[in-house]
Every structure is written in structure tokens, then in C-alpha cells.
Amino acid sequence: MRDYTIFIPEYIAAGSAVGIIGIELFWPKFRKDWLAYITAVAALGWFVAGLFFIGKDPNSFQGLIRSDDFTTYFRLLAAGIVIVVALMSATHMRTRTKTVAEYYGLLLVAGCGMVYMAAATELLTAYIALELLSFSLYILVGYLKRDNLSSEASLKYILLGAFSSAMFLYGMSLIYGVTGTTYYEGIAEGLAARGPGTDPAVIVGMMLILAGVGFKVSAAPFHMWAPDAYQGAPLPITAFLSTASKAAGFALILRLFTGALIVDAAEWRWAVAALAAVTMTLGNLVAIQQSNLKRLVAYSSIGQVGYMLITIAAIGYGDAKVGQDASSALLLHIAGYVIATLALFAALTAAYNRTGREDIAGLRGLAETQPFLALVITIALFSFAGLPPFAGFATKLFMFQGATTDELLWVVGLAVLNSFISLYYYLMIVRQMYLFDPIGDVGRWKVSPVLWCLAAVLMVGVLFIGVYPGPVFELTERAAQPLFDAAGLGGVQVQRP
Amino acid sequence: MTFDEGQGYVVLATIAVPLLAALVLVFTPGHQKMLVRYISAVTGAIVAGLSIYIFAAYQLDGSDAQMRLQWVWVENTAFLGKDGITLNLAVDGISALMALLTGVVAFAGALASWKLDFRNKDFYILYWTLLAGVYGTFFSYDLFFFFFFYELAVMPLYLLIGVWGSTRKEYGAAKLTLMLVGGSVLIWIGIFAVFHEANLGTFDMEQLWAAGRDGTLSPTFQKVFFPFMVVGCGVLAALWPFHTWSPDGHMAAPTAVSMVHAGVLMKLGAFGIIRLGIQMMPVGAEFWMPTLMVLGVIGAVYGATAALTQRDFKLISGYSSVSHMGYVLMGLATMNQIGVTGAVLQMYSHGVMTALVFLMIGALYDQAHTRDLKDFGGIAKVMPLWVIFYGIAGLANVGLPGFSGFTAEFHIFVGTFRSYPVFGALAIFAAALAAAYMLRMFAIVFFGPFNVRWSDLKDLTPLERLSGGMLIASIVIMGVWWAPFTDRVGQTVTLLPGVTG
Amino acid sequence: MGAEEAWLLAAIPAGVFLVLALFGRALPRGGDYLGVAAILSSFLLFFVVLVDFLDTPGKLGPVVNDIEWSSIGENFDLRMGIYVDPITIVMFAVVTTVALMVNIFSIGYMKGEPRYYWFFAVLQLFVASMLLLVMADNLLLVYISWELVGVCSFLLIGFYWEKRSATEAAKKAFVTTRIGDVGLLIGILMLWKATGTFNIQEIIHHVEEGGVGQNYLFAAVAFVFLGCMGKSAQVPFHVWLPDAMEGPTPVSALIHAATMVVAGVYLTARLLPLFEVADGALLMVTIVGLTTALLTGFMALAQTDIKKVLAYSTVGQLGFMFVALGAGHPAVAMFHLMTHAFFKALLFLGSGSVIHATHHNQEMDKLGGLWKKMPITGTTFFIGSLALAGLPPLAGFWSKDEIFVVLNDKWGAWAVVILAFAAVMTAFYTTRLFIRTFMGTPRDKDVHDHTEESGLVMTGPLMFLAFLAVVSGFVVFHGVGKALGFPGGITEFIFLPHHGPHKYHFDLAWAAASVAMGATGLLLAGWMYWGNSTKRSTQLAEAQPGLYDLIRNKFYFDELYQAGIDRGMLGFSYVVSWFDRYVVNDTGVDGSAQVTGFSGGVLKYLQTGRLPNYAMAVAVGVVALAVVGLVVRG
Amino acid sequence: MATEVLWWIFAAAIVGASAGVVFSRSVLHSAIFLIGSMAGVGAMYVFLTVEFLALVQFLIYGGAVTVLILLALMLTRSDPTGRPEPVNGPQLPFALLVGISLITILVAVALDTAWGDSGEGPANIAIETVSERMFSDFGVPFVLSSVLLLVALIGAIILARQEEGE
Amino acid sequence: MVPLENYLVLSAVMFSLGVYGVLARRNAVLILMSVELMLNAVSLNFVAFAAYLDPDKVLGAIFAVFIITVAAAEVGLALAIVIRLFRNRATSNVDEAASMKW
């Protein structure tokens, strides 16, 4: 079946990307912040186009791409992230580089990459989509090219990215060798058809794939690039990295692991659980020692990845019902996490635009000079820590609850312990903002209206999900549904003992 | 709308009014400090009124949960089945009393903060948020909302203490917050385990309690996870050896926060032990209660002993809180009706009297800016009313008949004696120590030669008299005529699983 | 109107307490007239109760019954009631009479004191609590009022709180009795545990039925008795009472001589059936009483403060009462309680009159020769002293004499010898006190010159009490009793239902022995102190320096306790505080936080910033996963 | 038989050249070895009867990529004297260890797995089939990869472009 | 006839050598070359599987084409970044590009 309509939203995005690059190419004096707004509008169009796909019947494009609620969910998420990041960048990027059109164009392209990572049901497509996202990010991270840190971050990112995608590919090749196909459905059937016992090729292949996607979502020990890349990247890109890139990684993992590898879940679930445990512990412990905000957020998001990985392990341990519940909860958590992160970065960007400092002490006395930003930052951080009435509380609770199986209770316990540790370093930030007086000029200053509104809207979102998670949860449940109704498996798991 | 439904809305309003107040305050200009105060005072009055109504309207007809209001929040989504999460509010005898406590203390605390001038808007926003959390926890019959409100009550503390506190406030605030949240880590784990084990797809507490009673939560499971719940809640209830946030936290906290925290918040811990421990895992409770008894006794004696030589008012109160909460835990650990009722009464009693103590400490500290006992002497000369108020609080603390402390401790002692006579004797001994440390403080501070350094001290302000008077009234009423209290609490306690006659 | 209204006795003063505490400051004269009126009405009501009681032969027991107070579940309900029997009647008589006198006396004595209204207010509260204590039909109510009188005592001892010593004394009194109360509460709860009720009569009934094991009962009774010892300041709890003399003298008269301190005697008398059932309990009571009587007799010998002498004598006399109880005769104990209350209140008020007149001088070394200056006080004090010394026909003689009789009956000669020694000492120090204060020549001229006889408001009560000190002993006689409405005299009036009334009969031998004891002490003291001379006593002290120091320092009880508190309790507290700070908090709590932070500090160095190291992490991760997957799990 | 001998020769060459890439002391030599290694892989494709892929390999790798690499090497010569700088990092022993373990694992995987090999040997993969499948079935990856190339192009340009003041 | 395992072992060796290169070498360009070795090994794997196992015969080959494409693009982009870094820092030694750590 070739239904090209399913690509319409991305046509809009990619087309706009080209258009934006074209504008600056032919009209170099065009105001840079307007480019941002154009990007936001384009992404809004993309978002709106995505809305039409809600609830439509699943549609597969030649077995490569599936257009279903899962895809739509990530499409909306991607578009939303791009809107926010573009708006965030408007003032931030205006003075820092000569040209910004490519920046916004790549943002849109990266978003498309994310959507196809979620939509891909075939290894090659998934790989290319992943590289599309990665390539865009390599460039975006190094976009401040006169900045030493930015280019260093970019170099580390691309070399490690290439290294780990080689691993990823080797794993794919082994799976291909075993099953003779690269379609997820075919892989599942192929694995199921191989009878009892598991080949070493399958095990090692899965481990290599795990390393590849683990790198993408920055799971320890494949996380090392993240702090450096986060620190070197421009602030809005850091936001993008910690939201879109992670969400995309999980989208791919969900598709791949539920659609293809679920059959031999016994061979990878322990590894995912172990990775989850290591990741969250490492991320949170190291985060305590950070003084740079971006690095701190990087480690904190590594910790978050640890929590999210538990659900993947739960998919491996539980039956289809557990898997679906866990995935819905994971999607909900991703939504909450993304919104909170974006709120945090919107506020941080506003503060950074004013102070130019990205260490924690730079926020000193923010509650005096800009109480609204301090409030948004606090809310975002408390949401990460899982305190009510913010999104993190409800979503984390649902996610862990969804992931609780007899085998995984210890990881869940560890996760809760970790989110407690995380509270410590979040409080360190809150402390700077609220407990100390600002240095130097103590007058109030104004936030640019765009960032203000952005932060306000996101903050409301954080509160809404936290207080009334029902509607979003229902949506994410629908989004997770197709993973388990996928054709071929008919919702029944062919899992080996 | 039937009458009972209407009452459910009263319960809802009790939670909603503080939240609304916080919301209104968010949009109040920060420099309108008087307006902020009036809003808070009115809120406090309304909340207190609603609380008193709830307490009074609780029917003594042998039924348990009353004034129910149930709104479906999330259901039939993912692992949540029918009634997955409901905003299920109701009142039982225990929470009716706790509501009364909260109302009185909250109102008194709001008035006590009248003097506060530094960013008082922010202060009250956090203050009312905290109280909404407290009420929510007391009224929630849904595990999700129970925990939601429980954490909501803990969350504002860091800022309340960190920004408006005094001695070593950063350390105290961080330690307090982290320890309390650390405790809730265990509760989280417990909640996950319970939901998973019960496999009912609902957070509805009554269904989960039924699961605990009928063995859906297996005995082994209950034995394993009971400590999670109890230690988790116990941190907030200053369960020894997880109590050290109490002295430091109270030392750092501003007056109203100390009042609410020691007065109400610590009770959430003990309340949690009832709700999540005794009611949810009766078998586990039976298995673990002797251990809790030992810890409670240690806490009671240890706190009283440590308070004996402290030099800071708030440290004395901090340690005495440890001691008194030790009684609460002992009462709960008896697992008989008298002891558990006594524990609940003690929760109330300790709440009001500690609030009064902290109110008085605040009234002095605001003027003197020191809390070292040795700096004072003969304060009765300049602040006679203060001395009387504090004296009443102190004597209630000591467990003097006529004050609530006696009523509560008496029931606890009786209950403990019934099951564990030796521990009962130890607890009574600790009560004698309470007399020692309280009177030591009285002797040093109130009496003796007057230190002229303090001749400028003013006696209580009218507002402090009002809030103190309310608290004293609460103390005395329960101390003199405790039937209304025991009737309500007893009605629920007799229905608790595993609690013997 | 009858015995059913007994509760009003307590309620009226309680109400007046509230009025005075809240509004007393605003009332003219601090509302002292309200206080007097309240006590007076109680006093009158007492007669109503008495008449009703005497009119109804055999009326004994609960008059207000079973007010449901609270209940929990099905097995625990608290009921309150009032129980009036002859013991209660006697206590009513003592409390209301002495309280009335003290109240009137205080109007004069406390005149011009700061917090005048507060004094009267607390006095009302005390009277109310005390009356409640004696009419309670259950141990819970006993305990409640027991604690309340303790607080009143605390408040009144610390009335002059500007004085550090007064504050310390108040604290000491409260904490010491509180330690006894620990025992009392434990005992009460033990009895409750065994019988399931707090009602005294039910408990007694239950115990007499044999429902409680011997050892258990003994333990329970011993604990209860611990409370009685604390309240009645028996050795080793006696230390608080002399210090309690820091309070205003009327308070000493009322609380620390006549009423509150006898609460222990009252409660023991009330529960005596339990003591009788429990093996050895009576012996315990006797030994405590004897020890106290003896030791405090010694202690009183070397005191120079008027009130302290009286205080030790009070403790000693309480010991006498316990001895009577130990002999199993509540009637005798109550009889002595009553006479003692009157003459000791008289002595205290007399000393108060002296102190008031000499502008707060209570050191005997500065007084002397006051009889001429203060004839009424002197005379009444003389009567009181003789009564205390136990000389006929004063009240003290009759009651003390009877104690010897019953003691001999029960425990034999050894106990009598000890008690006789104490009685001799009592006479001795009483005489010493009187001589040193009222006889001889003034030792401090300045003090003497400014002394005047007190006004009628003070001497009136003295005279009334002196009258009682003379006549109250006669109620022991059948005839007097019959005239008053209780034929058989007081010892037949007061009895415990199961062993019937104790018949009093005058035994000349015992009376002679008793007189001899009193006379010995009196003559010895006269020989030693007559005529303003301290030569002989000094010689004696120098002859036995060790013994003198021992007595002078009250057998070092205070020092011993102080050391115990400082080294033991406070030391333990410091240890606990240290443990809490450094072990639990700094090591346990902060330590775990530091370990967490430190591990983060170590782990962060994994992030070396060098790309090959990062790649190494990825590779090692892959290899590790593969190895585990293939080898460990394979 | 002859094919096999030839295969072994090429295999040895590939391994040798690959080893040369990673062990050689000079970066330039490494680049030369890389050409050899890739050429060898191209030859392998011929053995596997995918001749067109061999062609692609020669053209893209042997041509474009290596030239690019050489160019980059020239551009980033830090030492103008041309003296070879130390090429190996300090973690070389560990790298060896990891390399050896990985070889062990992967070889074990290769040999230990029942591949379902029919034993027929490689079948010819016709270029027509490949192109047909590629454009009919794999249109989406194709389009995506074209966007990818565009992105790389733009990225390379904006990052490598010299700005004023450099 | 050469059995499939031969190709797989060859590929494994190449791949491991590449990994070794990435881990041991300091020059960014050399690391990139090592990555190319790894990617080549993967392509070889794919093609070998395609030729021996896949009834369809083409999937692996198509995969290889795409890998080559992506690899080429990656090299281009990476080299641009290396040059960028070199301009800023005058080094292509990855051990020296370590200003962000801990």
C-alpha cells in the first residue's frame, strides 16, 4: 500500500525547512528572530496536520512506515518540541551566529527524523531516520562554531555517534542473519520460528542493538557523550537534546522491542533492567556534584532515562497487558517530562539571556529579581523530582506502577530512591534562587513576552498533567495501543519462557 | 443532592478553600501586605469553621466513613480499572478529629504570622498549599490522592523554612525535606507493591483494605511491606531513629511553620501508619507491632532524656515532640482499642499543645532574637500572660490532668499496659521526665531573678492571645470532657482490623 | 439537699477559681472575699453533707454513681462517681475547716503582696482539687485530682518566683512527687489490668474475692504506695517538703501540713483492704512510717528555721499516720490525721504570724522573747506545741497514744521503741522551737523592736484552730461522739466494712508512757535551751561532731540526690544528646548524605572529557552485556 | 578451489590492511591502508556476486572517502615538520583487551550460530533486482537518505566555512 | 566454495580492529577511519547474509548501499567538524579536546 498522504505533515515540515533556508539565502538581511517565528508557525502547521491523524485507522506504508496513533503521538510531540525550541531560540540565537536559517531548518528536519524513528517498522528505515535526527543534532550542537565547547561537543558527539551506530548496525546484521529479514514483523516471526533455545547471534545482536539505542537515549554506560554535548550545545539545543532526542530514542525502542524483539524478551529484559539500574544511579549521583546547569540537567535526564528504561524491562517481563500498560504510562511520562523540561529550559534561556551565566550560582536570588522564572524553574525541578501537584508526580507514579512486576520491584524501589536523591540537587538550585539574595543590581527585570508566555503555558501544562492526568493518560493509552495490536502478532505475545 | 452528599461538598470545600486562598494570593499584588493578611485570616477562619463543623457533624451511629464525595478521576485506562483513581473524600472518626486539629492550628498559625513582613504573600501561598495537602491526606480514601496530598504537604516546607527560617535554616530545611521525602520513598515502593499485589486496578483504599483483610494481600507480602509503609510514614512521625529532622527542623522553622509542622504535619505520619499500615496490612501489623512498640518506647524515653539538657527552646520542643510522638507510636503498636484511641487523641493533643508552645516561642523570639534558655530569667515579670500560656502548654505537655495531654497519655498508658506492662511503665517514667525538662525550663526562663536586659519585652499581642486562647481552649476541652473525642475516634478504632477490644 | 450535693463542695471553689484567675486582677481587693465566701460555702455545705450522713444510719458508699464519662468499644468505659464514707467526712472536715481558716488568715498575711488575686485563685483550685480527691469513687479521678493538687502545690510554693530558691523548691516538689506518681499510675494501671475497673470499691471487692495473685497484688500495692510516699513526703521522698517552705506560710499550713501531704495517708487508708490482702504490704507501710518518723526527728533537731522544723515535724507525723495504717487501723490514722491537721495548721499559721510580724524573719537565731510582744500568737503557738509534743489533754495526745496501742498490738515492742524515740524527739524539737522563738530574750534587737501582734484577721483563725487543737482529740470518746452524732467516737465511726470498728478504750499505762515520752523531750529541751542559752547544745554538738554534721546536713539526702541527678540523669541526658547529635544525626543522617555526595564526587571522574574513554565505556558496556548474555546466562 | 585460495589471499590482505589502519605509526600510512582494506572488501563483494556493490565500494570509499580523509589529514597537520606525533592514547592496553574480547565474542557468535545455511553458496544478486527493490520497496529510506545527505552537505558547509576573522 | 562463516569471521575481525582503533588512537581522523572499518565490516556482514541466507537475496545488499551512503555522509560531516575544531584549537588530538569533563 502506498498512501503518500501519511507523509503530509512532514512534507510541511521539510518544505518549510527548505523555505526558511531559502529565505535567508536570498534575503540575508531578514530578521533572524522572525525566522524563528516562521519556524514556529511551520511547526504549528505540522502539528495541526498531525492532529488530523488522531484516531485514524492504522496504515502501513509498504511495511516500512506505520501511521498509527503511536506515530501521531510522537509527531505531535516532535512538532510541539520544535515550536517551543524555535521560540526559545528566537532571542537566544539572534546575536550568537551569522546565519540561523540552517539552524531552524535543521530543527524541523530533526523533528521529521524523530517522527520516522517512531513510525519505522523496518530496521533500515529506522536506522536512516535515526541518522537523520543524529546528523541534524551533530550540526546543531556544533552550531556555535566559534565556540570551543560547541565544536568540541559536536566532535565528541559525532565520533561516538558513528561508533555506536556501527555497533547498532552490527547488531542489526546479526538479527538479519538469523531471521533473514529486516521488517519487524518478519523478525518476530523469524525469531519465533527458530524453535527452542536461543542462538548466540540473537543474544549478541540484541545487546549490540541495545547499545545503539542506549546511546541514543543516553543510558549508562553509553551516556558519556550526553553531559558534554549538553554543555557545549546552545541552550535551546540542549533542551531539544534532552526532549526530542530522548523521546525519539524511546519511540524507536518501543517499536523495535515490542514489534520485533519481544519474542526473545527473556534474552534482553535483564539487560535493560540492569542498564536502568546503573543509569539512574549513576546519573543521579553524579548530578549532585555538578555546578554547571546544563551538565546538571544532562545528568538528571540520564537519571530520568533510567526510570523510563524500567518500563522497557517491564515490557520484557510482563505479558501483553503489562506491556501495554507500561508503554502507555511511559508515553505519559515522556509527555510530562518533555513539558517540564521545556518549561525549565524556557525559563533558563530567559535567565541566561539576562545573566549570560550557565552555572547554578548564576541563578542566585532569582526569586527576588524575577520571581516568575524562579517559580517556573522550581516547578519544573519539583516535577522531575516527582512532587505533586506537578506532572512528574502523577506520571512517575503511573510509570512505576505500570512497570511494577514481581521481578522488577527492586528496580522500581531503586528508582524511587534515586528520585529522592535527585531532590537533593534540585533543592540546591531552588536554594540558590530563593534562599540567597541576588548579587549586584537587585532590581526586577522583565522577561521577553515570548519566553514569558511560553514558560507560562508550559507551566500550566505541568500542573494540568499533575493534577488531572486522566485525559492525557487516555491519549497515551491509545497511542500505545497499536504497538500491541500490530499485525502479525495479533496482540498475542509469542514469548519464549 | 442529599444531605450526606452536601456534607461531602463541605469536605471538599475544606480542601479547596486553602487552595483557592493560595490561588487568590498568587494574583494579589505582593506589596499589599495588609490585604494578604486579611485574606489569610479570613481563610483561616473559614477553614477552622469548616473543620469544627466536620467534627461536630460526624455522626455517632456506628458507621465509619461519612460525608462521602466520590468523583471519578481516571478510570479504565491502562492498568487502572473501574474506579482506578477517584477523588474519594470521606471522613471517619480519626480524620474528623484530625480535621479539627488542623483547623484550629491552621487558624492560629495564620494569625501568628501576622507580624511577618518579608514576602508574606509567598509565605501564605505556601502555607495554604501545605494545609490543603494536610486536609487532603486526612480526607482521601484513594491511595493516589492520599499520597498526592501527603507529598503536597511536605513540598512547601523547604521554602517555608529555608526562606523564612532562622537558626541554620538551610541545613534544617534541607535535612527536614530530604528526610521526609526519603520516608515517602518507602511509601511509594509500598504503594507500587500493594497495587500490584492486590491486582484490583484501583487505588481505592477501601477496596485495598478489603484486599488486606481477605488475604488477597498475602500474609508474607504484608509482613514484607508493612515496614515500608510504617517506616516511611514513621519518618514524618519522628519514629526513632529517623527523628533527627525534628530538632533541627523545628529550630530552623518560622513560628507558623513550626506550629503547623509539629502540630499537624507530624500527625500525617501517624495517620499514615493507621491508613497504610493497620488498615491495609493487618497481618503485617500484627507481626511488626511489637517492634514498633520498642521503637516507640525508645523514642519516648530518648526524646525526653535528650530534652532534659537542651538550651534552646525549640530544641526542647523538638525533642519533646520526638518523645510525644513516641507515645503515639506506642499507642498504635498496642493494637487494642484503648491504645489506638489514645494514640489518636495524643496526635490531637500533641498537635494543639505543640502549636501553642511554638506560638509562644515565636512570640518571645520575635522580640528577643535569642532562644538560649540561659539568656533569660524572670520573664514572668514582663510577660505574665506569655508565661501563663506557655505554662499551660508545658503542663499539658507534662500530662497534667485537666489538659488534653493527660487524656491522651492516659489512654495510651492503659492500652500499653494492657498488652505490654513493662513498656507501659517505661512510658509513664518518660512522662515523669517530661515534668523534669519542662519545669527546668520554667524555672530558668519564667522565674528567678529578672534580667533587666529584657525590660523592653512586650507581652502577647491581641492576635497572639486570640490564637493562643483558641489552642488553650482546645487543650482544656479535651482535658476535661473527652467523651466527644473518644466517641468519634473510638467508633472508627473499633472497626479497625486486628485491633482488639 | 443532702450528701448527693457533695460535688458542690468542690464545684464552688473551682468556679471561683475560674472567676479569680480570669478577672481577679480587675476585682477590688483581688476578689479575696470571693475566695473566703467559696470556702465558707463549702464549709457550710460540709455540714449539710455531714448532717445528712449522720441522719442516715449505715449510710456508706456511693452517693453519686456511675456518671458515664467516656467509653471505647465495649470493654472500656470510664465512669465517674462520688463516694462518701466516714473517711471522706473526716477529710471534708479537715480540708474545709483548715482551708477556711487559712483563707481568712491569708487576707491579713498576704496583704500587699503582688499577685494577691492569684494566690487566692490557686488556693480555690487547690481546695477544689483536694475535695475532689477525697470524694472520688475511682482511682482515675483520684489520680486526676492528685495531680491537680500537685500543681497547685507547685504554683504556690513558687509563688515568690523572683526568688531562685522558691522556683527551685517548686520544681523539686513537683518532680519528686511526680516520680512517686509514676509509681501511683503504674499501680493504678496494674490494678485495672487485674480487675478491669478503676472503681475503688469494685477493686477492693475483686481483690477480696481473691481475684488477684499475691505477688502481683503486692507489686501493684507497692507501686501505689510509692505514689503515697511521694505525696506524703516519706523517706526517701521527704526532701521536697522542707524546701516547700519557700511558699507563703498559709500555704505551708494548708497544703504542706494539713491537707495535701496527707493525701498519701488518705489513699493508703482508702485502699487498706488491698494492703491487708497483699502479704507484707502492711509491714512495708509500717517500716516506711517508722523510718520517716525516726529520721526526720533527727533532722528536725538541728534546724534553725522555724518553718523547716515544722516541716520535718510534719513529715514525722505523717510517718506516725503511716505507722497507724501499717498496724491496720485506718481509724487511728485518720484520727491522727485530723488532730495533726488542726494543730499543725495552727503551728504554721502561728509561725506565719511571727514571720509576718517580724517582716519575714524565720530564723530562730534572730528571734526570741516574742511572747510578750505577741501574746495571742504566743499562747496559741504554745498550745499547738504541746499538742504536737503529745501532752494531755491536747488533741495530739489522744491520737498519738492510740497509735502506740495499735502498733503494739500489731507489730510488738520493737516498733513501739522506735516510734517512742521519735515521739521523744518530737517533743524535744517542738519545745526547742517554742523556747527559741517565744521565750528568753530577743537575740536581734532590731527585729524585736519592730514586731507587733498581728491583727484579728490573723489571730482569729489562730484562736479557732487553737480551740480545735484542744478539743478535737475528745471526739475519740464515746460520749462526745454520741453528742455529735457518731456514737462510739471517731474510731468506731471510721472503719473498713470488713473488719469492723476499732473500739477505743483508755489505757492508763499507755497514757502514762505517752506522757512520759512527751515530758522527756520537753524537759530535755528545756534543760538545754531554757533562758536563751545555747551553751549546752553547742557542747553537745562539739562532743559529737560527726553525728551533728550528719543531722545538720539531713543525712546528706539532698547531696546524694543532687549527685544522682547531676551525674546520673543529666549525665545520661548529655550522653543521649551527644549520641543523638554525633551518632544518629551526624553519622547516620548527614553521614549517609555525605556518602551519597561523595560517591557522586568519585563517579563524576569517570567523565574524563576524553573521547576514547567514552568510547571505551560503550565498548566495555557491550562486551559486558554480551558476556553476561552468553556465558553467565547461557 | 581456486576461488577459495583467492578468497583467503584477499581475506588476509583485508585483515592486514585493516590492522595497518589501526596499528600504523603514521596517519598517512593508515589512510593508505584504509584504501587497501576497502578495496579488499570490494573484492569480497565480487566473491559474493554483488558486483555493482563492489563498484560502489571502489568509487565511493576508494575514491571519495579516502580522498576526503587525506585532505582532512593535510588540513589538520598540527606539526609543520611532518614528524609523526604519538598516535596511540594511554588506554591502548585496555583497547587491546576489549578488542580481543570482542573478537572472541563475535567469532564465537559467527561460528556457534546455526545460520540455516543451505550450503548452496552465494547466489547471484542481480543489479536490476536491487535497483527495483530499492526504488519500489525502499522508497522511504531512499528519500530519507537523500534528506540526510542534504543535511550533511549543509552541515559540512556551515561548519567548515571560514568566517571573517579566522 | 567459501562457507558463510568465513565471511562472518572476517567481518568480526575487521569490526574488532575498528573498535580497537577507536579506543586506542588519538587522532580524530584516525578514529573516523576506524569507524569506517567497522561500517565496512557491517556491510560485509549484510551482503554475506544476503547472498547466503536470504531467499530474497537483495535486502542485505540494499542495506549495504545505504550504509555506504550514510558512512560517506558521516565522514564528510565529521571531517568538517574536525576541521572546525582544528581551527578553534589547532589540534585534532581528541585527548586534547577535553575541556568539558566531570
CA-based nearest distance C575→chain D, Å:
54
Neighbours of chain C (3+ CB pairs under 8 A): A, B, D, E
Domain contains D10: yes
Asked if C614 is an interface residue toward chain E (Cβ–Cβ < 8 A), one would say: no
| Residue D119: pLDDT over 90 | no
CB contact at 8 A, C189 and B417: yes
Q: What is the pLDDT of residue D105?
A: 93
Mutate to test the interface with C, among E22, E81, E96 (most CBs of C within 10 A): E22
Which residues are registered as beta bridge partners of B80? B77
**Closest partner residue to A402 among B78, B122, B182, by Cβ?**
B78
A222 touches chain C (CB under 8 A): yes
d(CA C273, CA B55): 45
Least confident segment among B350-364, C273-287, D123-137, E57-71: D123-137
Residue B89's nearest CA partner among B151, B6, B185, B22 is: B6
Cell reading at B159: 521554602
Distance (Å, whole) CA B445 – CA B320: 17
Distance (Å, whole) CA B251 – CA B216 = 45
Size of interface A-B (CB pairs under 8 A): 102
Per-residue CA distances from A292 to A299, A383, A421, B485 (Å): 11, 20, 18, 55
Give E-chain residues touching C608 at CB under 8 angstroms.
98, 101
Cβ pair E15:D102 closer than 8 A: yes
The β-bridge relationship of strands B85-91 and A59-61 is unpaired
Sign (positive/negative) of CA torsion A36, A42, A48, A49? Answer: negative
Q: Which residue of E23, E74, E75 to mutate against A (max A Cβ within 10 Å)?
A: E74
Q: Within 10 Å of residue C283's Cβ, how many Cβ atoms? A: 14
Q: Check residue D75 and give its pLDDT.
A: 81
Q: Please state whether at least 3 CB pairs lie below 8 Å between chains B and D.
A: no
Smallest CA-to-CA distance from C553 within C299, C293, C243, C314 is with C299
Asked if E22 lies within 8 A of C615 by C-beta distance, the reply is yes
Q: Say which of A128, A152, A176 has its CB closest to residue E85.
A: A152
Q: Flag if C614 and A160 touch (Cβ within 8 Å).
A: yes
The answer regarding whether domain E4-89 maps to CATH 3.40.50.1110 reads no
| pLDDT value for C551 | 84
- pLDDT tens-digit series, residues B94-153: 999 999 999 999 999 999 999 888 888 999 999 999 999 999 999 999 999 999 999 999
β-bridge mates for residue C76, sequence order: C72
User: What ipTM describes this predicted complex?
Assistant: 0.93
C-alpha cell at B302: 530518648
Provide the shortest C-alpha distance from residue D55 to chain E (in Å): 11
* A207, A267, A289 member nearest C600 (Cβ): A289
* Contact yes or no for C611 and E97 at CB 8 A: yes
Contacts of B395 in chain C (CB under 8 A): 151
Residue A392 near chain B (CB below 8 Å)? no
Amino acid (one-letter) located at D52: F
DSSP string covering B350-389: HHHHHHHHHHHHHHHHHHH---BGGG---GGGT-HHHHHH
A398 touches chain B (CB under 8 A): yes
Residue type, C100: L
Give the total number of structural domains in chain D: 2
Contact A290, A425 (CB under 8 A): yes
Task: Give the structural domain span for D135.
Answer: 126-166
Indicate whether B386 pLDDT > 90.
Answer: yes
Nearest in space to E33 (alpha carbons), one of B54, D27, C76, C560:
D27
Strands C61-72 and B85-91, sheet pairing:
unpaired
Query: Are the beta carbons of E84 and A145 separated by less than 8 Å?
Result: yes
Query: Distance between CA atoms of B352 and B347, rounded to whole angstroms?
Result: 9
Asked if D18's CB is within 8 angstroms of E17's CB, the reply is yes
**Which residue, chain included where needed, has cell 546520673?**
C568
**Residue D123 touches partner A, C-beta closer than 8 Å:** no
Share above pLDDT 90 across residues of chain B, in percent, rounded to a whole number: 66
Rounded to 5°, angle at Cα C298 from C292 and C299: 85
Rounded to 5 degrees, what angle do the CA atoms A152, A154, A158 make? Answer: 120
Strands A65-67 and C76-84: unpaired
Amino acid at B40: S
Sequence length of chain B is 501
Please report residues of B whose CB lies closer than 8 A to that of C149. none
E78 and A135 within 8 Å at the Cβ level: the answer is: no
Residue D116: closest C-alpha in chain A: A178
Query: Which of A24, A72, A81, A25 lies closest to A49 in space, CA to CA?
Result: A72
Nearest to B188 among A389, A416, A424 (CB): A416
Q: H or E element: which one contains B314?
A: helix B313-334
**Interface partners of B (3+ CB pairs, < 8 Å)?**
A, C
Residue the block writes with cell 500490584: B196
Q: What does the alpha-carbon distance between residue C460 and residue C473 come to, in Å, rounded to a whole number?
A: 21
* Contact flag C612-E23 (C-beta cutoff 8 Å): yes
| CA-based nearest residue in chain D for residue C616 | D95
Asked if C320 and C293 count as a contact pair (C-beta separation under 8 A), the reply is yes
Q: Mean pLDDT throughout B163-168?
A: 87
Residue B187 near residue B276 (C-beta atoms within 8 A): yes
The residues, ordered by sequence, that sit 6+ positions from A74 with a Cβ below 8 Å of its Cβ are A114, A115, A117, A118, A119, A247, A248, A251
What's the CA dihedral at B52, B56, B57, B59 to 10 degrees?
140
Q: CB of C457 within 8 A of CB of C110?
A: no
Residue B128: CB atoms within 10 A of its CB come to: 27
Q: Would you call A62 an interface residue with chain E, using a CB distance cutoff of 8 Å? A: no
pLDDT means per 10 residues in chain A (497 residues)? 84 93 90 92 95 88 90 95 95 87 94 94 94 95 90 94 95 91 90 80 93 94 94 94 95 93 89 95 94 94 95 91 91 96 95 90 90 94 92 93 91 93 93 88 85 95 94 92 66 45
pLDDT tens digit sequence for B42-65? 999 999 999 999 999 998 888 888
What are the chain D neighbours of A129 within 8 Å (beta carbons)? Answer: 144
The chain E residues in contact with chain A (CB within 8 A) are 8, 15, 18-19, 22, 28, 31-32, 35, 38-39, 41-42, 45-46, 49, 53-56, 59-60, 62-63, 66-67, 70, 73-74, 77-78, 81-82, 84-85, 88-89, 94, 97-102
- Give me B100's grid cell: 479539627
Put simply, whether A463 touches B (Cβ < 8 Å) is no
E20: closest CA of chain C, how far (Å): 9
- What letter represents residue C170's amino acid? A
Is residue D161 situated within a structural domain?
Answer: yes
pLDDT of residue B492: 92
Is residue D52 situated within a structural domain?
A: yes
Q: Judge whether D93 lies within some domain.
A: no
Chains that contact A by 3+ CB pairs under 8 Å? B, C, D, E
Confidence check: pLDDT of C486 > 60: yes
CB contact B164 to C (< 8 Å): no
pLDDT per residue as tens digits for the range D140-149: 899 999 999 9
Question: CA A317 to CA A270: how far, in whole Å?
Answer: 9
B306 and C576 in contact by Cβ < 8 A?
yes
Cβ-proximal residues to A431 (8 Å cutoff; 6+ apart), any chain: B162, B170, B174
Which stretches of A250-327 are assigned E, i.e. beta strand? none
- Closest-CA residue of E relative to D30 is E30
Please state the rounded mean pLDDT for residues C373-392. Answer: 90
> What's the whole-number mean pLDDT along residues B21-32?
92
Cell of residue B76, nine digits: 479504565
Is pLDDT at D84 greater than 80 in this prediction?
A: no
List CB contacts (< 8 A) between C620 and chain A. 221
Contact C194/B at CB under 8 A: no
Contact flag B189-A328 (C-beta cutoff 8 Å): no
Mean pLDDT confidence for B16-38: 93
Domain boundaries, chain E: 4-89
Strand-pair partners of A61: A65
Reported as half-sphere exposure (CB side, CA atoms, 13 A), residue C373 has a value of 23
DSSP state of C248: -
Of residues C70 and A460, which shows the higher confidence score? A460
- Residue whose grid cell is 523592653: B456
Q: Which residues contact B30 (CB under 8 A, 6 or more apart)?
A: B36, B119, B121, B122
pLDDT confidence band for B339 (50 / 70 / 90): very high
Question: Is residue C499's pLDDT more than 90?
Answer: no
Domain boundaries in chain C?
Answer: 3-552, 559-632
- Which residues of chain D have a CB within 8 Å of the CB of E19? 98-99, 102
Which pLDDT score, from 0 to 100, does residue D160 have? 84
Confidence of residue C436 (pLDDT cuts 50, 70, 90): confident
